[in-house]
Chain A
């Protein structure tokens, strides 16, 4: 991969992960390993009903079990947190079920014991009587259903654009977002052809291998929370709000994470362990099982209805999309997904007339939040499948059709924001070059058919967000970077060290990165949405520049000539007479942003930067069984200028393989509202044999003008386009269109039978 080497040679170099040794020896620190003296283990009793009123909770048998410390319900929680509802967008989620359960698997009560086996046994002895309520599971049906998940909407006060929803009653639509550009009706009327399709995606789960885990240690006026969280600053603010305490009495510490992928954001177990520790005045730890993760946070299933008006020579004049996001029983960050990704629902295309409606919908399923792409993979599944269908219907090559319609720098995206540093054209060209789309291709013969497909997704960085960093130079001249970015495997520690080292002319390997501890590290909005390299990277760069200026000032104060490169340790020694002192630099990055207009979704600056992810897939299909193999997967990304080329490549590779799981095998399955496959035995994440036979991960030359050393984010980019590229390749191979994820051999076989005029019945004949 091409990398621009900077003068100091720290940025653009494939520095090995700083924590490499700790990870290969097993010594790396995770909350999973944490044991606090006097600690109790909590085990959650979960709802067995998808939607029900709680008539009675009987804890007597559980409480009587030898070794049980205490059984806790919402009534106990209220004694320490009078209004026990939390959430980043809506304060709709109770710390434990409060008179009602809204999905099967919802936490109802907690058993505490010194021995976690005792806690587990006790949790199973808690008895709950329910009065069942009608339930709704489908996101489209829920918009019209008489089954209401929340009687009244409770938006958090923090977002001015949600205020209008306050107190809205008897609806499952938590948020509706609209975007209007031009006049879609006029655009359709002027079109030669109009195409309309509906696409759906399934519910999946992040499946970090370190399951959710949090511990709290409370005293009368202080609380420390150790948690596997991607957002320690948010946790502190939200816990402080719940307790009615100032922020400086809440401390949140985060070591390494065993995977996050968007699951470990906002509040998950933190409010619960905080309440438990305050109630019993002992440290409390809760470690979820793999199964319980499915009841904690998931990826939104979505239904997308998309319609385009096109001229006969292949120009898209108008596009209308309606998107329903199945947010499950609690909003989590779903309303943000609805809006922040909703405005890209028309895809990476230059379209004069755009009309978008995006709805966050409550249902009686486990909650959905952010998962590596923040909604873009669901949208790209729809708009890139749709775009391919249009090209094929017009008899044009999908490549040529896209070339004609893609957004280019200087043109205006559907929000009204002018595109910059967003090389969609270069990503498309590179895909073409690697896939050889314009060369003759053998589609195979007999029952083995081959095909190729491409797709491109576009994502806006979430805005507005802020990162603050501190660079501390110690008495011996060594450097510590203090930042709230969580290294959950993406390699942020290493990248931040490289950026500080570049500015300060140090070796990246010798910089240490201090892990998030809200008593020590400054504010950061969260490790999410591919925002850290840009936002925290900029903050670290500015902090290092501030420190560098202070070093120069110290040298001048000591009478050294300008440009003198006396070692910092010597400067400190001259100043203090011994190895002592600090130089501390500060940096803050606030991404540029103008909020979109409430009615039209228009904004002159809807995001600080855009990210482009393209995929090319080649598949082989056995037409007698529908079985398919992915022969080749090419991932092409725009990441600006890579800070660490190898880490960039592994993010692309890892993201694409994860999305491959969401494309071909992963799906949460339900019967009567009950999850039936909440284990790795039945929910299939990719293993060694699920990889494409060949895979390439490439970046296009680029630089984000406002990014640190030209960099932008990369964590999600390779997820955008994988699913539609595969569906498009299947269409190319056998002429059938799969519109619903996951793509299975059965779905392909059924589609082939329909195409052959011999549809298969439900009985499989």
Chain B
């Protein structure tokens, strides 16, 4: 089997992108090393902590486990993907206002998930939020503040 890199084409945060990846390389490596998108991070390396979460065709995925070749032709969105103008979106603003992070290492993963949750479910219950975010770990344990942040963003989204 060839281990030679192959050209990949996909949509990255709304714009067409081209990358080179060997068969063993993950989407996470490609995003970080070729596009300098450092919001997704490798922590557990097993898809258990959520630090590397990005959206692939709208679905949250552990990019540390997804081989880059499988991203060929897909629509990839990272924490850096919105809003496009460098402003903050309501989820990010809510995270800041409620103090929903400490070291910040897991934060992009939580934000990507919270955005997706609120798209699917604009008015989630506390338990909905816990369930949806239960695949993301925060060792600083900002969980109570993260719950408050998602609720605040939901309230703002509904009144917008």
Contact = CB atoms under 8 A, between A and B. Distances in A.
Interface of A: 14, 16-17, 19-28, 30, 32-33, 35, 117, 206-211, 256-261, 289-290, 488-491, 646-647, 650, 653-654, 657-658, 679-681, 685-689, 691, 695
Interface string B85-119: 00010001001110101111111100100000000
Nearest to A26: B39
B111 A290 contact: no
Given A488-B103, A650-B102, 20 more contacts: A16-B99, A17-B101, A23-B104, A26-B37, A28-B104, A30-B105, A32-B41, A117-B25, A208-B139, A209-B43, A209-B137, A258-B103, A489-B101, A489-B140, A647-B99, A650-B99, A650-B145, A680-B48, A685-B137, A688-B133
B130 interface: yes
- Most chain A C-beta atoms within 10 Å of own C-beta, residue among B78, B144, B145: B144
Nearest to A34: B38
A658 B139 contact: yes
Interface in B45-78: 45-46, 48-49, 51, 78
A430 B47 CA distance: 42
- Most chain B C-beta atoms within 10 Å of own C-beta, residue among A24, A256, A488: A24
Contact of A210 (B33, B43, B95, B133): B43
B6 interface: no
B78 to A, nearest CB: 7
Given A209-B103, A210-B41, A681 B141 contact: no
Contacts, number: 149
B134 interface: yes
A686 B141 contact: yes
Given A209-B105, A650-B145, A687 B137 contact: yes
A24 B41 contact: no
Contact of A689 (B95, B104, B130): B130
A197 to B, nearest CB: 30
B137 A654 contact: no
B111 A24 contact: yes
B39 A27 contact: yes
- Which are the 3 A-B pairs with shortest beta-carbon distances? A26-B39, A489-B103, A258-B105
B99 A646 contact: yes
Nearest to A646: B99
A261 B101 CA distance: 15
Nearest to B98: A646
A657 B143 contact: yes
B interface residue count range (under 10 / 10 to 19 / 20 to 34 / 35 or more): 35 or more
A491 B108 contact: no
Nearest to B133: A688
A28 B51 CA distance: 14
Given A26-B38, A689-B134, A259 B103 contact: yes
Contacts of B106: 209
Contacts of B103: 208-210, 256-260, 488-489
A688 B41 contact: no
A26 B79 contact: yes
A22 B143 CA distance: 20
20 contacts: A17-B96, A17-B99, A25-B39, A26-B37, A26-B39, A26-B108, A27-B39, A30-B105, A208-B103, A211-B43, A258-B43, A259-B102, A259-B140, A261-B139, A650-B145, A681-B46, A686-B141, A687-B137, A688-B147, A689-B134
* Interface SS of A by simple majority: loop
Contacts of A32: 38, 41-42, 105
Interface in B5-42: 24-25, 32-33, 37-42
A686 B32 CA distance: 28
A209 B49 contact: yes
Contacts of B152: none
A538 B69 CA distance: 54
Contacts of B39: 25-27
A71 B88 CA distance: 47
Contacts of A490: 102
A256 B104 contact: yes
B88 A685 contact: no
B80 A26 contact: yes
B102 A290 contact: no
A21 B96 contact: yes
A260 B133 CA distance: 23
B102 A654 contact: yes
A25 B43 contact: no
Contacts of A26: 37-40, 78-80, 107-108
Nearest to A17: B99
Contacts of B130: 688-689
B129 to A, nearest CB: 8
A489 B41 CA distance: 16
A198 to B, nearest CB: 30
Nearest to B144: A653
A260 B48 CA distance: 20
A260 B103 CA distance: 9
B108 A290 contact: no
- Most chain A C-beta atoms within 10 Å of own C-beta, residue among B42, B51, B88, B97: B42
A210 B41 CA distance: 8
Given A24-B96, A256-B104, A680-B46, A207 B144 contact: no
Contacts of A685: 137, 139
Contact of B141 (A22, A257, A647, A657): A657
B46 A679 contact: yes
B139 A681 contact: no
B92 A695 contact: no
B49 A259 contact: no
B134 A258 contact: no
Nearest to B110: A24
Given A21-B96, A117-B24, A691 B144 contact: yes
A19 B25 CA distance: 32
A451 B46 CA distance: 38
Contacts of A209: 41, 43, 49, 51, 103, 105-106, 137-139
Contacts of B33: 35
B107 A23 contact: yes
Contact of A258 (B48, B104, B136): B104
Contacts of B42: 32
Contacts of A117: 24-25
A695 B45 CA distance: 31
B105 to A, nearest CB: 3
Given A24-B92, A680-B44, A689-B130, A653 B141 contact: yes
B13 to A, nearest CB: 12
B144 A290 contact: no
Given A26-B40, A210-B41, A680-B44, A650 B105 contact: no
A207 B92 CA distance: 25
Contacts of A259: 102-103, 105, 139-140
- Most chain A C-beta atoms within 10 Å of own C-beta, residue among B25, B40, B103, B138: B103
A646 B98 CA distance: 9
A680 B143 contact: no
A491 B102 contact: yes
B104 A695 contact: no
B105 A210 contact: yes
A490 B108 CA distance: 18
A657 B141 CA distance: 6
Contacts of A657: 141, 143
- Most chain B C-beta atoms within 10 Å of own C-beta, residue among A14, A679, A680: A680
